[in-house]
Amino acid sequence: MASHNQKSPIHRAAGKGRRLVASSAARADTCPKLLMRNAVLYGDLPALRHKYLGIWQTWTWADVAETVRAYAQGLHDLGLRHGDTIAIIGTNRPKLYWSMMAAQCLGAIPVPVYADSVAEEMVYVLEHAGVKMAAVQDQEQVDKIFSVADRLPALKAVLYDWGRGLRDYEDDRLHSIDSLIIGGRSHFQKDPRTVTALDDLIEQGKGSDVSVILYTSGTTGRSKGVMLSAERCIAAATDSVAFDRLDENDQVLAYLPLAWVGDHYMNYAQGLVAGFCMACPESADTVEQDLREIGPSFYFAPPRVFENLLTRVTIRMEDAGSFKRWLFKTFIGIAKTYGEDILNGKPVPLGGRLLYALGNLLVYAPLKNVLGFSRIRVGYTAGEAIGPELFSFYRSLGMNLKQLYGQTEAFLYVTVQPDGEIRADTVGPLAPNVEIRLSESGEVLFKSPGMFLGYFKDDERTAETLTDDGFIKTGDAGFFEPESGHLKIIDRAKDVGKLKSGALFPPKYVENKLKFFPNIKEAVLFGDGQDFATCFINIDLTAVGNWAERNNVSYASYQELAGHPEVYDMIADHVTGTNRSLAREPLMAGAQIKRFLILHKELDADDGELTRTQKVRRGFIAERYAPLIEALYNGTTLADITTEVTFEDGRKGSISARVKIGDCPVFAPDTGKAA
């Protein structure tokens, strides 16, 4: 085990053996070359599915290759050239994925943008990337772009997928994606030489060129454009495809934001390397239903998705009859006792195996079927730390859920848990062909096969992120466990602090414990440099609303429900339970929460309080709600606050409230007694 300093020995992980397909992927150094390879290898196998008007439509690899080539010709005829940037804006739809592929055929650079960004937020990325074209989903995205078009001098064309509401738009820059595909096919028929010219252009593509620019979520400030090359993306995806034995028989549900590295890696890059099928849901509202219908074999979700699913399960069981509640509680207890050991292949008494098998028949298998998890062979979670209790819950049901740690700059894996080495409190050993060391302060530094080329138009921040010998600074604090070699991430290095007593203050660790309770949607801890820890809470409106209905508690709004005395009592019980859990961990016992409040509004990305990937912007929240933080520490029991809010149409308003502050007991370390 290396010491935690800048000069520490480098940890290395050898790559796994690759199959024939993975070897051919290594020779194809761009995404379009992989697409053409797949059209030959898997021509009749499904490449893409999309549910439209309740019906699943399927395109084979041969279909996709033909369509993308025609689309690329249409883009070329419209003026897109090598090195140009094209924005991709919308939810997961085949034509938007084809837009990325077609642009890459020409050597152009796709720039995915979060679909739920407001126009003012979107314009920063579009302007910074200097986009020449934008491929968008529908009228909403067209309107957002045209509302800021005067600030986008490079923009020459806007291409749309769904034309509803756009028939009467008169703008020479507006084109349907279908018309470009039809135009490309027509061009091929009129002049067959253009087919050869396009194929030559694809073959001449260089893996070392920028393949995509992914903008970071902006947790700590302005988003940065991460430039990734095709050859490095393919190298990273090839390693992970071999690691998890993914192939053309696997299937995924593509529901993650197009602009997030998780989608571009898990679905786009790995799909091209492995040749598996990517299914696009009908809409964001139908993801859970579509998940059940598709039954993916490979699945990824950030912790928030697993939290929301567990909340819904809990609500449904509370509404169930007494016998079903008893049955669920009894067998979930059995799953917690034996489930993970059985999944990990550890010895379990015969009686435990029989009870677990009965529980699988009556509870676990039906529950996984309802969630759409019945066919999952490999599942991952990442994006932020997941609560150990939440992680263990899903694994105890027999789901092979694993953790990985990664960054956009790494594309994507830095560490990953192999089968048989799954831990709730670590993110695993090094991913294949990754190198890691720890700085003197405990910051994680790495090199990876997929590491970025740099930040777009920002050499200064690129230099700040890299060490002199080419390691990337993650900004995360962590350490390796000597006995297992697994990496543990504590928190963002800048967020880990100490109380005045010198006790460790790791806010994210405690927040994840709180969010295990279905009634708590979000938590933000404070305490660095203070005498004790305090917390903001966002209740889960669905879960608490269901509780209110069952208990005849009337309310008219989130604000009214959040301030209800019985809700405060409920949350106080959860905070007390979290404190009791922390008391059993000597290193974390000092971070117990002494005072808390329930915020009068939900934290919202439109208000700048969360990133588009739903991560808390801690510094912004501390500044915005400074009066409430002051009240938490000055001993008052009520505090007044007025907060500006942003409505869906971009208009601004304000919301005022008198917020109650609650107190909770703290416990002596290693005991259940109040300190």
Cα separation, 608 vs 617, whole angstroms: 8
The sign one gets for the Cα dihedral 502, 507, 508, 513 is positive
pLDDT at 353: 95
- From the list 481, 506, 504, 498, the residue with the least C-alpha distance to 587 is 504
Burial class (CB in 10 A: 0-12, 13-18, 19+), 181: buried
pLDDT tens profile 90-114:
999 999 999 999 999 999 999 999 9
pLDDT at 671: 53
pLDDT at 477: 87
Instruction: Give the count of domains, the chain.
Output: 2
Please check whether residue 13 lies inside any domain of the structure: no
Q: Residue 499: CB partners within 8 Å, gap ≥ 6?
A: 505, 527, 528, 529, 530, 531, 532, 533, 590, 591
pLDDT at 14: 41
pLDDT at 211: 98
Is the model's pLDDT at 25 over the cut of 70? no
Please check whether residue 172 lies inside any domain of the structure: yes
pLDDT at 457: 96
Is the model's pLDDT at 2 over the cut of 70? no
Is the model's pLDDT at 19 over the cut of 80? no
Phi-psi sector, 654: left (phi>0), alpha (psi -120 to 50), beta: beta
Is the model's pLDDT at 16 over the cut of 50? no
Burial class (CB in 10 A: 0-12, 13-18, 19+), 329: exposed
Angle at 209 between CA 207 and CA 215, to 5 degrees: 115
Please check whether residue 412 lies inside any domain of the structure: no
pLDDT tens profile 392-449:
999 999 999 999 999 999 999 999 999 988 988 889 999 999 999 999 888 999 999 9
Cα separation, 562 vs 414, whole angstroms: 39
Domain end, chosen from 205, 235, 266, is at 205
Is the model's pLDDT at 6 over the cut of 60? no
Contact (CB, 8 A) for 668 and 592: no
**Average pLDDT of 41-64?**
96
**Average pLDDT of 165-178?**
95
pLDDT at 587: 81
pLDDT tens profile 479-488:
898 888 899 8
pLDDT confidence band for 181 (50 / 70 / 90): very high
Q: Residue 369: CB partners within 8 Å, gap ≥ 6?
A: 292
pLDDT tens profile 225-272:
999 999 999 999 999 999 999 999 999 999 999 999 999 999 999 999
CATH number at residue 561: 3.30.300.30
Please check whether residue 356 lies inside any domain of the structure: no
pLDDT confidence band for 12 (50 / 70 / 90): very low
**What's the DSSP call for residue 644?**
E
pLDDT at 303: 85
Domain end, chosen from 176, 205, 234, is at 205
Q: Which structure tokens are listed for 389?
A: 């209790």
The C-alpha torsion from 96 through 100 and 103 to 105, rounded to 10°, is -120
pLDDT at 20: 43
Q: Which structure tokens are listed for 318?
A: 């509370």
pLDDT confidence band for 9 (50 / 70 / 90): very low
pLDDT tens profile 570-623:
999 999 999 999 998 888 899 999 999 999 999 998 898 998 878 889 889 999
pLDDT tens profile 516-536:
788 999 999 999 999 999 999
Range of the domain at 72: 30-205
Contact (CB, 8 A) for 597 and 536: yes
Cα separation, 161 vs 278, whole angstroms: 18
pLDDT confidence band for 333 (50 / 70 / 90): very high
Q: Which structure tokens are listed for 271?
A: 């799909």
pLDDT confidence band for 13 (50 / 70 / 90): very low
Helix, strand, coil % in the chain, rounded to nearest 5 = 40, 20, 35
Q: Report residue 400: phi and psi, to 5°.
A: -80, 70
Q: Does the pTM of the predicted model rise above 0.95? A: no
pLDDT at 21: 47
For the chain, what is the radius of gyration of the CA atoms? 26
Tell me which of 599 and 310 has the higher pLDDT. 599
pLDDT at 143: 96
CATH number at residue 165: 3.40.50.12780
Output b/e per residue, 576-602; b: 16+ Cβ within 10 A: bebbbbbbeeeebbbbbbbbbbbbbbb
Considering the chain, what is the average pLDDT of its residues?
A: 91
pLDDT tens profile 199-217:
999 999 999 999 999 998 7
Contact (CB, 8 A) for 411 and 228: yes
Q: How far is CA 219 from the centre of its chain?
A: 13
Is the model's pLDDT at 674 over the cut of 50? yes
**Average pLDDT of 14-24?**
42
- From the list 637, 523, 528, 520, the residue with the least C-alpha distance to 590 is 528
Write out the DSSP string of 34-81. Answer: HHHHHHHHSTTSEEEEEEETTEEEEEEHHHHHHHHHHHHHHHHHHT--
Q: Report residue 4: phi and psi, to 5°.
A: -90, 75
Is the model's pLDDT at 673 over the cut of 50? yes
Please check whether residue 546 lies inside any domain of the structure: yes
Q: Which structure tokens are listed for 585?
A: 């961990």
Output b/e per residue, 437-470; b: 16+ Cβ within 10 A: bbbeeebbbbbbbbbbbbbbebeeebeebbeeee
Tokens 């308003």 locate to: 653
Q: How far is CA 523 from the centre of its chain?
A: 18
Query: Hey, what amino acid is at 442?
Result: G
Looking at the DSSP assignment, which residues form a beta bridge with residue 277?
Answer: 251
Please check whether residue 138 lies inside any domain of the structure: yes
pLDDT at 206: 96
Please check whether residue 417 lies inside any domain of the structure: no
Please check whether residue 577 lies inside any domain of the structure: yes
Domain end, chosen from 205, 231, 261, is at 205
